[in-house]
Amino acid sequence: MIIREMIAEDIPQLARLYKQFWNEESSVEAMHKQFNKLQKNRSHILVSAIQNKALIGSVMGVICEELYGDCKPFLVLENMIVDKTYRNQGVGKALVSELEKIATKRNCTQVILVTESNRIDACKFYESAGYSSQTHKGFKKKLK
């Protein structure tokens, strides 16, 4: 398995992974446009897991600038996905580990994330990767 920053050629396979998880189609054309935009502004970290030339997992980190204390940025972990046939094989941990390394190099002081509490496997995964839900409570509100 290879863990690396995402490249444009990963996008069609990423759309396939999202369909596997959400059972919805993604516009590959729109994804390419967004990917190009994100590559230019460096506020997003996109990491891919590749095996046998196929995308088997991905994660996105969004760097948020802080405006208190020492004003160092933090990272929001989003859109973590691993192909269902590769789960529980270390792919997710490798993706998160690489994301954390890049975030550290970019001076981020912490990583935060939100996942649905009924996704028991996801919650167990994040806890096993060192994330705590005991001291904080996440909230989410959909707009439109």
Whether 140 maps to a domain, the answer reads no
Residue 135 has pLDDT above 90, yes or no: no
Whether 60 maps to a domain, the answer reads yes
Residue 132 has pLDDT above 90, yes or no: no
Residue carrying structure tokens 């995402």: 6
Query: For 95-121, what is the mean pLDDT?
Result: 94
Residue carrying structure tokens 């891919």: 48
Report the domain count for the chain: 1
Whether 136 maps to a domain, the answer reads no
Q: What is the pLDDT of residues 4-53, one digit of tens each?
A: 999 999 999 999 999 998 889 999 999 999 999 999 988 999 999 999 99
Whether 144 maps to a domain, the answer reads no
Q: Average pLDDT over the chain, rounded to whole? A: 94
Residues contacting residue 140 through CB under 8 Å, at least 6 positions apart: 114
- For residue 54, give its domain range: 2-128
Whether 138 maps to a domain, the answer reads no
For residue 23, what are its two tokens?
């059972």
H-type helices in 1-144, by residue range?
Answer: 11-22, 28-41, 91-105, 120-128
Whether 118 maps to a domain, the answer reads yes
pTM, whole model, 2 decimals?
0.91
Whether 143 maps to a domain, the answer reads no
pLDDT of the residue at 46: 97
Torsion of CA 88, 91, 97, 98, to 10 degrees: -170
Whether 88 maps to a domain, the answer reads yes
Residue 136 has pLDDT above 90, yes or no: no
What CATH number is given to the structural domain containing 10?
Answer: 3.40.630.30
Name which of 49, 69, 47 is nearest 59 in CA terms: 47
Residue 56 has pLDDT above 90, yes or no: yes
